[in-house]
Amino acid sequence: MTSDDQEKHHHHHRLQNSNDENSTLHSYKTRQRMNISSIVTKDENDKSLTHYKRLNSIEQIRNLYSTIKEEETYRIQLGISCSM
């Protein structure tokens, strides 16, 4: 394949990828806009979720503590998850 043929092939490939991306972008539909207060109050009647939130409340976390001793080795792992 000559360099001219290779360039034509790459150009065709770029156009094809561009068309795929455009069709994907045009088919994507966003969710309805909601303000934060409506999102927070949306699940207030869900007993299990309310219980779960209470278990992980800031008041419970404030009461947790550990004693860190000098010259000891510690490994800490922190995981954060946010999903909507």
- Token digits of residue 44: 């207030």
pLDDT(18) > 70: no
Share of the chain above pLDDT 70, in %: 65
- Token digits of residue 25: 């972008």
Q: Where are the beta strands (DSSP E) in the chain?
A: none
Task: Name residues whose C-beta falls within 8 Å of residue 49's C-beta, 6 or more positions apart in sequence.
Answer: 43
How far is CA 33 from each of CA 29, 76, 83, rounded to the nearest angstrom? 12, 38, 16
Rounded to 5°, angle at Cα 42 from 41 and 47 = 90
Confidence of residue 31 (pLDDT cuts 50, 70, 90): confident
What are the boundaries of each domain within the chain?
3-27+36-62
Give the global pTM.
0.26
CB 43 within 8 Å of CB 35? no
